[in-house]
Amino acid sequence: MTKFSVPEMSCGHCTSAIEKEITGSDPAAKISFNLDNRTIAVNSTLDSDALLAVIKEAGYEATPA
């Protein structure tokens, strides 16, 4: 499980956009969002760098948490 801080993530639209990008690259990925803490936990075959790139593709800056 890899965790990321996504400071600009604030609503369901944000989580949908991020989830769509991640599952587009890894359809089997398991993702949980915490809007209060603005964090994402991802269980994926993609490595951390690839996940950061995918989150950026969705339009959000992220850092490892």
Give one word for 38, left, alpha or beta, with left for phi > 0 and alpha for psi -120 to 50.
Answer: left
pLDDT at 43: 97
pLDDT number for residue 40 = 97
The structure's pTM equals 0.93
Q: Residue ranges of the alpha helices (H) in 1-65?
A: 12-25, 48-57
How many other C-beta atoms lie within 10 A of the C-beta of residue 32? 12
Q: Where are the domains positioned within the chain?
A: 2-64
pLDDT of residue 51: 97
pLDDT (0 to 100) of residue 27: 97
Architecture of the domain made up of 2-64: 2-Layer Sandwich (3.30)
Residues of the chain with pLDDT under 70: none
In this prediction, residue 62 carries a pLDDT of 97
Which H or E element spans position 45?
Answer: none
pLDDT at 53: 97
